[in-house]
Amino acid sequence: MTKVTMTVNGKSVSAEAEGRTLLVQYLREGLGLTGTHVGCDTSQCGACVVHVDGKAVKSCTVFAMDVAGSEVCTIEGMANADGSLGVVQQAFQDHHGLQCGFCTPGMVMSSAALLAENPRPSESEIRHYLEGNICRCTGYHNIVKAVLAASGQDAGAMAAE
């Protein structure tokens, strides 16, 4: 076991990790940040997406040691400083973009990464970008609407109820 240090949600943290410890295990078991979920183990479902140095990364497929020293942001770091929901989070609530909530952290992190790259994505750009995040509850309708709304676009006009 080795002590691995990185910055998570703006704070310098360290926890013990084996060589085989995945970033998601480091976050969940080492730091107790259980908002990041494991849904598939094969990099397919995206429930584990976090930001590493600003990029969306599937934390079930990265060794913790490989990102030592990086800046990591998780779902726990997405709210505003006063604790209120961030823009993407608020749009997900406003548009009922979540049901069971299990894929939601990954969806929010991927959506935020998309909007950082592409502030006004089209519907098809959103659908294409979120291809790596599986949701079993929503049929994606309200997720896409939420991302449109978070980018300042009129989701209601583009998506029929």
Partner 1 sequence: MPKDTGIGASTKRREDLRFLTGRGVYTDDLSLFGQAHAVMVRSSVAHGRIVSIDTAAAEAMPGVLAVFTGEDFKDVGGNPAGWLINSRDGTPMREPKRPVLAHGKVRHVGDAYAAVIAETYAQAKDAAQVLADATVIEELPAVVDMRAAVANAANRVHDEIPDNLCFDWGWIEDNRAAVDAAMKAAPHVVTLELTNNRLVPNAMEPRASIGEYFPGTGDYKLTTTSQNPHLTRLLVCAFVMGIPENKLQVVAPDVGGGFGSKIYHYGEEALVLAAAKRLGRPVRWTAERTESFLSDAHGRDHVTKIELGCTKEGDILAIRTETLANVGAYLSNFSTATPTFLHGTLMAGPYKVPHVYVNVKTVFTNTAPVDAYRGAGRPEATYSIERAVDKMCRELNLDPFEVRRRNLLTPDQFPYTTPVGLVYDTGNYQATLDKAIELADVSGFEARVAESAKRGKLRGMGLSTWIEACGIAPSHLVGVLGSRVGLYDAATVRVNATGTISVMTGAHSHGQGHETVFPQIVAEKLGIPESSVEIVHGDTAKIPFGMGSYGSRSLAVAGSAMDRALDKIIAKGKKIAAHMLEAAEGDITFADGKFSVAGTDKAKSFGEIAFSAYVPHNYPLETLEPGLEETAFYDPANFTYPAGAYICEVEVDAETGKVDVVAFTAADDFGNVMNPLIVEGQVHGGVGQGIGQALCENTSYDENGQLLTGSYMDYAMPRADDVPFYTVDHSCATPCTHNPLGVKGCGEAGAIGSPPAVVNAVIDALHRGGITHVAHIDMPVSPNRVWQAING
Strand order across the 2-8 sheet: 11-17, 2-8, 71-73, 49-52, 55-58
Residue whose CB is less far from partner 1, 69 or 156: 156
Residue whose CB is less far from partner 1, 69 or 138: 138
Taking the CB of residue 135, how many other CB atoms lie within 10 A of it?
22
- Torsion angle defined by CA atoms of residues 136, 148, 106 and 4, in that order, rounded to the nearest 10 degrees: 170
Rg (CA), the chain: 16
Residue whose CB is less far from partner 1, 69 or 98: 98
- Quote the least distance from Cβ 141 to partner 1, whole Å: 4
At 56, give phi and psi (nearest 5°).
-70, 125
Residue 8's identity, in one-letter code, is: V
- Quote the least distance from Cβ 53 to partner 1, whole Å: 20
Residue whose CB is less far from partner 1, 120 or 128: 128
Binding site for partner 1 (CB under 8 A): 18, 20, 28-29, 32-42, 44-45, 47, 74-76, 78-79, 85, 89, 92-94, 96, 98-105, 108, 123-124, 126-128, 130-131, 133-145, 158-161
